A and B are shown apart, each in its own frame.
Chain A
Amino acid sequence: MSVDTNTVKRIASLARIAITDDEAGRLAPELGNILGWIEQLGEVDTSGVEPMTAVIPNHLRLRDDVVNADPLTGGGIRDALMTNAPQGEHGFFAVPKVIE
């Protein structure tokens, strides 16, 4: 499996990771090796096999349909949520301008 630097740059862009040309050049053979190694899965006959969706059989629970069913994961905790914000303003997360 060979991966070229353009592919690396496209993947990095999809993953929102900035990379330099040098890094893309270094990563191309590295990712190529890993992808080449995992391609051996192609030789397994999986016809008629359903992809696994749950490793241990479990049923999907639904929480009660009420506000704040669980206080820890519910609402009303704005200030706690904001304590780690790199830039918080007026109770909101601030980001660079996205609309000119």
Chain B
Amino acid sequence: MTELTDLGIAAIRDGVRDGTFSARDVATAFNEKVSAAKALNAFLVETPEHALAAADAADAARAAGKTLGPLAGVPIGMKDLFCTKDVATTASSHILEGFVPPYESTVSQNLWNAGAGMLGKLNMDQFAMGSSNETSFFGNVISPWRRNDGGHAPLAPGGSSGGSSSAVAARLCPGATGTDTGGSIRQPAAFTGISGIKPTYGRCSRWGTIAFASSLDQAGPMARDVTDCAIMLGAMAGFDPKDATSLDLDVPAWDRELSSDLKGKRVGIPKEYRVDGMPQEIEALWQQGVDWLRDAGAEIVEVSLPHTKYALPAYYIIAPAEASSNLARYDGVRYGLRDLPDGANLQDMYAATRADGFGDEVKRRIMIGTYVLSAGFYDAYYTQAQKVRALIARDFDRAWEACDLLLAPTAPSAAFALGEKSADPIAMYLNDVFTVPSSLAGLPAMSVPGGLDAQGLPLGLQIIGRALDEQGVLDAGLAIEERAGFTARPEAWW
């Protein structure tokens, strides 16, 4: 029999429902995997009792003949950006070390309501700022993947949802929550050979999710395949009156409507995404993706998104500006760390607490944000960036006149080694070149594994859709998945 931990979300849901195995057996099997995988540093907190309690509830509901929730018996990993009641939540920062939320985020509560249980809290880039998981206060997450050169160089699992990507790829959990501000679900999914979708801005409530850049932050699922992502997203999404930007719309039955038949769909290839220095393997995979989608019945058209090159600089004004404002709340007064030097006044306490509590990348972004919002610079930087953002959104609107979906690579390279890019912030920022534009426009976008590069590392393809067309994105993802036949998985060394 297949190991229970080799099963994905749909298979676990069905098996529990049919009585092929008990939810308790599933939870126990994953709890053991999590506890044995310390070398990956993917989990900050393990919560085996939470997973077992949800499993027992699922088993009891089934025994009583009750209807089971869509995720009954499915244990998942929770990114540490989501506040979880009575379970430590830090956003991988020192400043929130010891913080135990007295409330539950809407997204996590939705998942528990659907019957899911929690295996633990997942490591991440500090306050979701990073693309490699090297900014966590609690140490780097290691990717389960290794290059096929026989070396053991530890690789980045991507970021910021790197604990999530590492844990799903290593089969420590069948699915995990992620959040995406500029690519933080899609890039780590691509780096680790899994799937992940960022829905339209407003689909998932931000309430109880620790804020980074509020006009960009969106939660989404990371899982082994497209169907599992569709199931999990359906449970996470939904209107929430507690989030002013939550969309008051019904949640479509994405998983039940999935179809890889793309007849009548037009898929655009944005020519500006052919950036200088793109590795030939990425280029080849992109072309392969075009062929797969054509085979699925789609018509392929070339489109232009002329302001693409300005998306990253606009993002690195807007996101830090919002972050500098959002992170002003960490002041040592109401929660988290307090650093009170002898004889310090209130202002000294703020400054000492924040100096001690924030990591280098977080400080860098708060300071950039403070600078671009400061008197005399606001219009030149922030207002100009918001205008460019409007132009980027307009580029997409115009592209939708010619096509229904866009296909692009997810990231400009396969996973790099830890330490390889951490000395140069801009080189790190460039990782998000293909994911940031759709974030700025609030569009749904997903990464699915397409194949391996010559070093044996996964590469991802990205599909971007119109606002609210998660279905189109998932359908095209499924079409690629069926044709890519991606079955590679990292060999367990941890």
Task: Evaluate whether A46 and B313 lie within 8 angstroms (CB atoms) in the complex, with A17-B358, A61-B241 already known.
Answer: no
Contacts of A80 in B (CB 8 A): 102-103
Task: Evaluate whether A55 and B201 lie within 8 angstroms (CB atoms) in the complex, with A11-B371, A87-B338, A93-B334 already known.
Answer: yes
Contacts of B313 in A (CB 8 A): 37-41
Contacts of B384 in A (CB 8 A): 41-42, 44, 46
Task: Evaluate whether A95 and B389 lie within 8 angstroms (CB atoms) in the complex, with A16-B350, A42-B384 already known.
Answer: no
Contact B351 A95 (CB under 8 A): no
Q: How far is the CB of B355 from chain A (nearest CB, A)?
A: 4
- Contact pattern, A 8-42, Cβ under 8 Å of B = 1, otherwise 0: 10011111111100000001001101110111111
Residues of B203-217 whose CB lies within 8 A of A? 215-216
Most A CB contacts (10 A, CB to CB) among B102, B202, B242 go to B102
Contact B390 A50 (CB under 8 A): yes
Which bucket holds chain A's interface residue count? 35 or more
Q: How far is the CB of A28 from chain B (nearest CB, A)?
A: 11
Q: How far is the CA of A78 from the CA of B375 in the complex (A)?
A: 37
Contact A30 B364 (CB under 8 A): yes
Contact B317 A93 (CB under 8 A): no
Q: How far is the CB of A26 from chain B (nearest CB, A)?
A: 10
Query: Which of the residues A18, A37, A58 comes within 8 Å of B245, measured between beta carbons?
Result: A58
| A49 on interface, CB distance cutoff 8 Å | yes
Q: How far is the CA of A16 from the CA of B325 in the complex (A)?
A: 12
Q: How far is the CA of A49 from the CA of B103 in the complex (A)?
A: 41
| B340 on interface, CB distance cutoff 8 Å | yes
Most A CB contacts (10 A, CB to CB) among B324, B368, B372 go to B368
Residues of B300-356 whose CB lies within 8 A of A? 307, 310, 313-314, 316-317, 324, 328, 331-338, 340, 344-352, 354-355
| B492 on interface, CB distance cutoff 8 Å | no
Contacts of B352 in A (CB 8 A): 18
Question: Please, which residue of chain B has its CB at the minimum distance from the CB of A17?
Answer: B354
| B419 on interface, CB distance cutoff 8 Å | no
Q: How far is the CA of A6 from the CA of B389 in the complex (A)?
A: 31
| A86 on interface, CB distance cutoff 8 Å | yes
Q: How far is the CB of B251 from chain A (nearest CB, A)?
A: 16
Contact A44 B391 (CB under 8 A): yes
Q: How far is the CA of A77 from the CA of B102 in the complex (A)?
A: 10
Question: Please, which residue of chain B has its CB at the minimum distance from the CB of A94?
Answer: B333
Contact B310 A41 (CB under 8 A): yes
Task: Evaluate whether A52 and B389 lie within 8 angstroms (CB atoms) in the complex, with A61-B244, A83-B100 already known.
Answer: yes
Contact B333 A95 (CB under 8 A): yes
- Contact pattern, B 373-402, Cβ under 8 Å of A = 1, otherwise 0: 010000011011111111101000000000
Contact B334 A58 (CB under 8 A): no
Contact A95 B336 (CB under 8 A): no
| B363 on interface, CB distance cutoff 8 Å | yes
Query: Which of the residues B354, B368, B441, B467 comes within 8 Å of A35, measured between beta carbons?
Result: B368
Contact A44 B388 (CB under 8 A): yes
| B426 on interface, CB distance cutoff 8 Å | yes
- Contact pattern, A 48-74, Cβ under 8 Å of B = 1, otherwise 0: 011111111010110100000010110
Contacts of A44 in B (CB 8 A): 307, 310, 384, 387-388, 391
The 5 closest A-B pairs by CB, nearest first: A51-B386, A55-B442, A86-B338, A84-B335, A46-B387
- Given A17-B355, A61-B248; 16 other pairs, CB 8 A cutoff: A11-B367, A11-B371, A15-B366, A16-B350, A30-B364, A41-B388, A44-B307, A44-B310, A46-B387, A51-B383, A51-B386, A56-B201, A56-B202, A70-B241, A83-B102, A95-B346
Q: Which residues of A contact B (CB under 8 A)?
A: 8, 11-19, 27, 30-31, 33-35, 37-42, 44, 46, 49-56, 58, 60-61, 63, 70, 72-73, 77, 80-81, 83-87, 93, 95-98
28 A-B residue pairings within 8 Å (CB atoms): A11-B367, A12-B367, A17-B354, A17-B355, A30-B364, A30-B425, A31-B364, A31-B367, A34-B425, A40-B310, A41-B310, A41-B381, A44-B387, A46-B384, A46-B388, A49-B387, A51-B387, A52-B389, A52-B390, A52-B393, A55-B201, A55-B393, A56-B202, A56-B442, A61-B241, A84-B334, A86-B332, A93-B334
